[in-house]
């Protein structure tokens, strides 16, 4: 959208770069005059860039129609991007082009130049539909820290809070009585009882630990940006130092410190206020711990809500498991999720629970809950992906206000797999790569961390690619059944993996949730180690016919790290897409070895190759 009063020729002015839409797509739904204007006056830029030049641009909030009046073209020029407002001082911002088919646009919900969204291409949609598709309702600026052992951290925090507040209030009452006694009845006596010193030290240590954890969670800069937090920390630290000094030193030779203590006694009354403040911080502490657990996943932090919940599109919501009981302290509380949905989308939402390992009473969501039983870090069947996509398409077609809410445990892997399937089925995206990239961008809040929060496991990525073929080749019907048996499996670069010769490995084949084959060095297979080529050859005997979704798991009697699925490594594939009776999977395509922390065990050349026989 290019307002006509912006001077493109004045290139000496500060400017910012904004992506309007993918340059490799057709411009048939947009005004060609705009693009000719851009191309003629910004020819020095790469094709992906469009430049808007201005020193300062300050406009009141504008709707699409008003923008159209200011624009050089027709109304269609603004429908593609419904910018809510321009109101900021323009700076030079270098934005790397993220993806060939996933451009970046300004967030219509924000006015600052650093707030960006990554929308999708719109094949087959008119500009009004494209515009409507860009209305998101989430908050990007959430500051929180990701911990590897985040659940344990929270359990400690939660225990500390629940017991600590009660403990602190009791100690404060005792300590205040001692302080008042010291102030009223102080007679210059230097001696202070050990009990009094220990009580004061316990209180000071408790609050010092509380401050330390808050600084650790929120960050030093953010925490101390609040003047009251700084004052709070100063009082606690001074009190702690005085109490430590009183505990370990004998003051029979000096009168300075007792007098200092009397001076500080009124100051320490401030701590009593802090206890009541902490009692009101329960909700805040819960929010912080939920942010720790969710990591840098994009959260909805608006209108009184703070949930691990993302609008993938305006009609697709991805979130973590809605929990109750103890888990609600570090995951989405189910009652808050219900309140959110009943407030934002009353009578127009449908929930999809993709967890096989946990459930909840569907009455919470007015019995609008559908379940697909998918194991954690594993894949749905293609038939489930097709059924889900068709069901969602039907639900969306009933009413333009209908939305879906999809979750697994963390709202990433299984959720992303199914959401990407629908994005492909509804033709929002044409390729698996684009849908995977888009989901990851929407689920990840890069303002807090660069950790990727999209679909991580290789098998889940592979099944999204399978589904793209089901959509594009088979028109959302399942491919013809192909039955094969596994003849041999070759493992490359085996050195350093367990014993390094493959004799510690065991193999399990799972099909339709049942173990159909198991082998080890002494049963159903022969294992050969070729030291010269650093590979292992496993020849299988009596392998049954395999078809549809197949899972191969490798166990080791050695101390190999176990990450997902309690095994050394595993992978899923679909038999109908096996070509030339061969499947080769590199380290990055195998579940568990794909993880960065596993690379010290699995070399870059580590790979598995499976050879099949026709029946």
Q: Which residues are catalytic?
A: 408
CB–CB of 87/59 below 8 Å?
A: yes
Measured over the CA atoms of residue 280, residue 281, residue 284 and residue 289, the dihedral's sign is negative
Q: What count of other Cβ atoms lies within 10 Å of the Cβ of residue 37?
A: 17
Please tell me the distance from the alpha carbon of residue 508 to that of residue 531, in angstroms, as a whole number. 25
Torsion angle (degrees, nearest 10) of CA 295, 297, 300, 305 = -20
Task: Provide Rg for the chain, Cα atoms.
Answer: 31
CB–CB of 615/545 below 8 Å?
A: yes
Please tell me the distance from the alpha carbon of residue 119 to that of residue 125, in angstroms, as a whole number. 14
CB–CB of 375/358 below 8 Å?
A: no
Please tell me the distance from the alpha carbon of residue 82 to that of residue 132, in angstroms, as a whole number. 8
Please tell me the distance from the alpha carbon of residue 190 to that of residue 252, in angstroms, as a whole number. 7
Please tell me the distance from the alpha carbon of residue 247 to that of residue 40, in angstroms, as a whole number. 78
Which tokens belong to 453? 């929060």
Q: Under 8 Å CB-to-CB from 342, ≥6 apart: which residues?
A: none
Which H or E run contains 117?
strand 116-117
Which tokens belong to 571? 């992978």
């Amino acid at each position: 959208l290019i307002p006509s009063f912006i001077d493109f020729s004045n290139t000496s002015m500060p400017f910012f770069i904004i992506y309007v839409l993918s340059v490799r797509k057709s411009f048939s739904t947009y005004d060609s005059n705009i693009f000719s204007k851009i191309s003629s006056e910004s020819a020095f830029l790469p094709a992906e860039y469009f430049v808007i030049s201005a020193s300062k641009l300050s406009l009141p909030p504008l709707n699409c129609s008003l923008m159209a009046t200011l624009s050089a073209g027709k109304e269609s020029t603004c429908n593609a991007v419904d910018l809510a407002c321009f109101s900021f001082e323009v700076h030079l911002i270098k934005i790397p082009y993220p993806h060939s088919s996933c451009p970046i646009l300004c967030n219509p919900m924000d006015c600052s130049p650093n707030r960006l969204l990554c929308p999708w291409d719109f094949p087959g949609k008119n500009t009004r539909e494209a515009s409507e598709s860009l209305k998101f309702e989430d908050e990007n600026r959430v500051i929180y820290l990701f911990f590897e052992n985040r659940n344990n951290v929270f359990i400690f925090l939660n225990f500390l809070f629940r017991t600590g507040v009660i403990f602190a209030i009791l100690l404060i009452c005792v300590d205040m009585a001692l302080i008042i006694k010291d102030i009223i009845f102080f007679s210059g006596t230097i001696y202070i009882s050990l009990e009094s010193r220990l009580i004061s030290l316990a209180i000071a240590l408790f609050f010092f630990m509380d401050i330390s954890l808050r600084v650790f969670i929120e960050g030093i800069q953010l925490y101390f940006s609040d003047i009251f937090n700084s004052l709070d920390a100063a009082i606690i630290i001074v009190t702690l130092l005085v109490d430590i000094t009183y505990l370990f030193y004998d003051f029979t030779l000096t009168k300075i410190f007792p007098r200092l203590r009397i001076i500080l006694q009124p100051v320490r009354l401030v701590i009593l206020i802090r206890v009541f403040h902490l009692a009101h911080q329960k909700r805040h502490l819960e929010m912080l711990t939920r942010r720790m657990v969710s990591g840098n996943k994009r959260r909805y932090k608006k209108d009184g809500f703070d949930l691990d919940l993302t609008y993938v599109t305006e009609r697709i919501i991805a979130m973590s498991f809605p929990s109750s009981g103890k888990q609600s302290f570090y995951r989405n509380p189910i009652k808050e999720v219900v309140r959110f949905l009943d407030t934002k989308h009353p009578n127009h939402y449908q929930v999809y629970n993709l967890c096989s390992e946990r459930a909840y009473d569907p009455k919470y969501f007015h019995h609008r809950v559908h379940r697909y039983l998918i194991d954690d870090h594993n894949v749905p069947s293609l038939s489930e992906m097709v059924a889900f996509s068709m069901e969602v398409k039907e639900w969306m077609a009933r009413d333009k206000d209908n939305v879906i809410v999809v979750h697994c445990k963390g709202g990433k892997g299984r959720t992303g797999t199914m959401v990407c399937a629908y994005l492909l089925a509804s033709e929002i995206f044409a390729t698996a790569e684009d849908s995977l990239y888009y989901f990851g961008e929407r689920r990840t809040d890069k303002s807090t961390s660069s950790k990727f929060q999209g679909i991580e496991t290789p098998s889940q990525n592979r099944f999204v690619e399978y589904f793209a073929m089901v959509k594009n080749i088979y028109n959302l019907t399942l491919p013809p059944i192909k039955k094969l048996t596994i003849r041999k499996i070759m493992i490359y670069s085996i050195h350093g993996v367990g014993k390094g010769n493959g004799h510690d490995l065991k193999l399990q084949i799972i099909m339709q949730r049942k173990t159909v084959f198991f082998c080890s060095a002494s049963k159903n297979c022969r294992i050969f180690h070729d030291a010269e080529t650093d590979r292992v050859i496993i020849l299988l005997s009596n392998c049954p016919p395999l078809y549809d979704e197949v899972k191969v798991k490798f166990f080791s009697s050695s101390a190999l790290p176990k990450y997902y699925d309690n095994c050394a490594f595993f992978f899923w594939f679909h038999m109908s897409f096996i070509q030339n009776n061969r499947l080769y999977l590199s380290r990055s395509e195998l579940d568990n070895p794909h993880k960065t922390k596993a690379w010290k065990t699995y070399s870059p050349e580590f790979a598995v190759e499976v050879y099949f026989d026709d029946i």
